[in-house]
Amino acid sequence: MSTRRCCALVTRFADPRVAESVELLATHLRARGVAAVALADEASRLGALPVEFVTEAELAARASLIVAIGGDGTLLHAAGLVAGHDTPLLGINRGRLGFLTDVMPDDMLASVDAALDGECSVDTRALLAAEFTAPSGNSVRGLALNDVVVQKSQSGHLVDFETWIDDRFVNTHGGDGLIVASATGSTAYALSVGGPIVAPDLEVVVAPICPHTLSDRPIVVSARSTIEVRLIDRPDSLAEVACDGRSLGALLPGARLRIGPSSTRIRLLHPAGYDYYRLLRSKLNWGRRSFDGERD
């Protein structure tokens, strides 16, 4: 761990439970002699705590550890802040399922101490890189830890598009859109539309959203592949592109969206003994019946 001894606290929602955890952690860090920083837009809620408020650029540059307190959306937000840096992320679960924020509040202080002391396991996750080029030639780029989503812009209208993988035509789709999910994101939006669960070190899922043709099923492709989406020029054919829920803008007919592997990696930290499959059992209630107790 870096000798800078600076911990960044990332939160996103005005939840009393989040505020309670942030207060507890900030006080604990001060007692350990570790500086705590947070984004300037959190000052109105966290201003009474022993925390210095900084810009996004300063946060990524100064922190030797980032602690995301909230749900998986908070950790995705934090991942976007540190993309391109080597700063590790630790997620404290104050949300719901918590596939990425897997440290429970009761274990927060011990887990942060372990992270600061270099005693956590490191889990390196790949990002997806998205780029779409408008008919005018202007390009927009984004990175995603979980998924890149093409979704219809108007309720009650289908969006029609083609998919190509490594420059080979795959299919023409009609539906609500398409999810291209990393292995990390296979347990997020892609799972809710019927996509498979993919172990974090494996491949990429391409999953149609509410396809008009029932045979249009999710497929798993190489993480080294490039997926291209081309919107078909039809009346009311409007779509939006989002990376981890952050809008990149409108995908217009004639534009091409390309999604492929990024050289950027994110380092997630887990407490000693972390087991991905145990996490799945816990979050998805596998192997339990109504009269069963907790099973490891």
Segment 19-25 long-range contacts (CB within 8 Å, at least 24 positions apart): 19/45, 19/46, 21/69, 21/92, 21/94, 21/105, 21/108, 22/46, 22/49, 22/69, 23/49, 24/108, 24/109, 25/67, 25/69, 25/92, 25/108, 25/109, 25/112
| Dist. CA 252–CA 240, nearest whole Å | 8
101-133 burial by CB neighbour count: b if 16+ within 10 A, else e?
A: bbbebeebbebbebbbeeebeebebbbbbbebe
Per-residue burial over 248-281, b if 16 or more Cβ lie within 10 Å, else e, is beebeeebbbbbbbbebebbbbbbeeeebeebeb
From the CB of residue 13, how many other CB atoms can be counted at a distance below 10 Å? 15
* Cα–Cα dist 284/266, whole Å: 25
CB distance 177 to 150 below 8 Å = yes
3-class DSSP assignment, residue 59: helix
Catalytic positions are 72
